[in-house]
Amino acid sequence: MEDELYKENIMDHYKHPRNAGVMAGATFSRRELNASCGDELEFFVLLDEAGKVSKVSFNGQGCAISQSATSMLTEKVEGMTIDELKKLLPEDVFTMLGVPVDTTRIRCALLGFKALKGGLEVYLQK
Amino acid sequence: MFTPPPTNGVVPSVPFVYLDSAASSQTPESVLAAMDAYYRECRSNVHRGMYAVSEEATKRYEDARAKVAAFINADSDEVVFTRGTTESLNLLARSLGGLLGPGDEVLLSAMEHHANLIPWQQIAKQRGYSLKFIPLDSEGLLDMAAAEKLITPRTKIVSVIHASNALGSIVPVKELFALAKKVGATTVLDAAQSVGHILVDVRDIDCDFMAAGAHKMYGPTGIGLLYGKRQRLETLEPMLFGGDMVIEVKRDDATFTDVPWRFEAGTQNIAGAIGFGAACDFITGIGLDNIRAHERELAGYAIEQLLATGVIVHGTKNVDKRVGAISFTLPGVHVHDMATILAREGVCIRGGHHCVMPLMRDMGLPGTSRASLGMYSTKEEIDALIRAVTKAKQIFS
């Protein structure tokens, strides 16, 4: 039976995550935990003087959905301005994944997104 | 006898293979009929009305209590209806834990469900007693030698799970509680996963208290039981207060009614209780021995087939020492991904920490995939599980 959710690009990002690793000297970072399974993830962002994302990475372990969605997210936000980061919505993550995500897996798909937005919010409050 | 959902709900053509009975079981027609009959034939409150319909409702409610009591080999007035295992354990932790203090110990196992851990843990913060945990051996069975050393005169309560929802291990509670009795400790049995699967005879086990729920033994959700030896219930402090559990009420005080109604404040889940009784009839009608023999054999088949796919099966492989809750992991495949892929094939299992986070941490795992059997589970369903697991393995290879 055709399984969209585990289609090639998702499995590719899971097996070969982009921008994986801990970043020293990040402008902001944040750790998030998925309470339902214990998956955790830390998202790092480095902003340049113009306030654009010059470097991004993530570190963590988890399911194929959380890891691949976060990997894709790092590619998506590279070069974004703070304003563009602020405007990011969960819907954008689902569009990026390109497949319907089961209700029970939404938390997985948005783990990286949650870390990014959480870190951004804390940074902007400073 | 059952009319479960005909499809897996996701893809109409894919059949429904329910291997999550440890989470909740399917409900037989006879149980549904008994609950429906209450609502249609004698809908009223119990214990109060002086008219025929209320008397009929009361009779069915108390008959259900008698059935549940007989099912566990207790007397009717030793059985309290509660919302479920969790509520029963909370009541015990509050009432029994509330009598303890610094220097006292409550002994649990390393594989307790959160329902038999968190209440004791939280009350300990208020009362100052300590929690101790009996470790498991390499097979996931309770280490009885370690248990013996941990039971000392400081041990006031020994409260353990009868059958592990994560590893399936059956704890030899009769022997364990005999050790507890030697030091005068109170014994509590969490029978949530054992009732309906193996014999739970409270007189034989000789526990002071026992907690169980209906919904994992073919009964409805929202109803369970607290068993207590009569003299133990007499001295237990109620957790919930209100109507139906009082004799006389003044503005500044109240006197409480007899056991077990003392613990049933407010209107109970009447239909649920009636359904619970019907579930006991259902199991007795088929024969618990037959259910156990079937699940035992099927568990053996499932474990053997799972091992053949290359997954790791956790807990003992000895089917005499376990129930049909089977945890497995496949390195490289996250439990959520396994559950999702299986679901798409129509196979319903559970992936996660199974409300035993400390045990998962001990095992060094974020969680496991768990297939669990019910009396209706079949060999064909296990074969479907194996096909789906094999598919998951291929996707992630």
From chain B, the residues in CB contact with A106 under 8 A are none
- φ, ψ at B109 (rounded to 5°): -100, 170
The DSSP symbol for B324 reads S
Contacts of B251 (CB under 8 A, 6+ apart): none
Measure in Å the smallest separation between the Cα of A24 and chain B Cα atoms: 27
pLDDT for the residue B24: 97
Closest residue in A to B360 (Cα) is A38
What distance in Å separates the CA atoms of residue B144 and residue B171, rounded to the nearest whole number?
A: 9
CA distance B294 to B282: 16
Q: Does B118 touch chain A (CB under 8 A)?
A: no
DSSP B131-180: EEEE-B-TTS-B-HHHHHHH--TTEEEEEEESB-TTT-BBP-HHHHHHHH
ipTM for the assembly: 0.82
Amino acid at B107: L
Residue ranges of chain B whose pLDDT lies below 70: 3-13
Which of B344, B352, B367 has the CB atom closest to A3's CB atom? B344
Sign of the dihedral defined by the CA atoms of residues B249, B255, B259, B265, in that order: positive
Q: Is the pLDDT of residue A39 over 90?
A: no
B115 DSSP 8-state letter:
G
Residue with tokens 């409300």: B355
Q: What is the pLDDT of residue B214?
A: 98
H runs (alpha helix) in chain B: 29-41, 52-72, 85-97, 118-127, 144-150, 173-182, 202-205, 230-234, 270-286, 288-309, 335-344, 357-363, 379-395
Q: Give CA separation, B231 vs A116, B155, B235, B259, B334, in Å.
A: 58, 21, 7, 10, 49
Partners of A46 in beta bridges: A55
B367 in A contact zone (CB under 8 Å): yes
Q: Do the chains contact at A37 and B367, CB–CB below 8 Å? A: yes
CB nearest B353 (choices: A38, A65, A104): A38
Long-range own/partner contacts, residues B199-204 (CB < 8 A, 24 or more apart): B199/B288, B199/B292, B200/B72, B200/B162, B201/B72, B201/B73, B202/B72, B202/B73, B202/B74, B202/B227, B203/B73, B203/B74, B204/B73, B204/B174
Distance from the Cα of A80 to chain B's closest Cα (Å) equals: 31
| Tens digit of each residue's pLDDT (9 = 90 or more) over A94-117 | 998 888 888 888 999 999 999 999
Residues near A96 by Cβ (< 8 Å), separated by ≥ 6?
A69, A72, A73, A76
Whether A65 and B352 lie within 8 Å, measured CB to CB: no
Give CA angle at B283 (B278, B287), nearest 5°.
145
pLDDT of residue B7: 56
Supply the pLDDT for residue A61: 84
pLDDT digits (tens, 9 = 90+) for B113-135: 999 999 999 999 999 999 999 99
Residue of chain A whose alpha carbon sits nearest to that of B345: A1
A1 pLDDT above the threshold of 50:
no
From residue A5, give the alpha-carbon distance in Å to each of A97, B20, B156, B346, B395: 9, 23, 52, 15, 11
Q: Per residue in B223-279, pLDDT tens?
A: 999 999 999 999 999 999 999 999 999 999 999 999 999 999 999 999 999 999 999
The residues of B annotated with a catalytic role in the active site are 355
Rounded-to-integer distance, Cα B336 and Cα B368, Å: 9
- Nearest-angstrom CA–CA distance, B334 and B338: 6
Chain B positions touching A102 (Cβ under 8 A) are: 340, 343
Question: Taking all residues of chain A, what is their mean pLDDT, rounded to a whole number?
Answer: 91
pLDDT on residue A4: 67
Contacts of B76 (CB under 8 A, 6+ apart): B62, B65, B66, B69, B260
Report yes or no: B50 at the A interface, CB cutoff 8 Å.
Answer: no
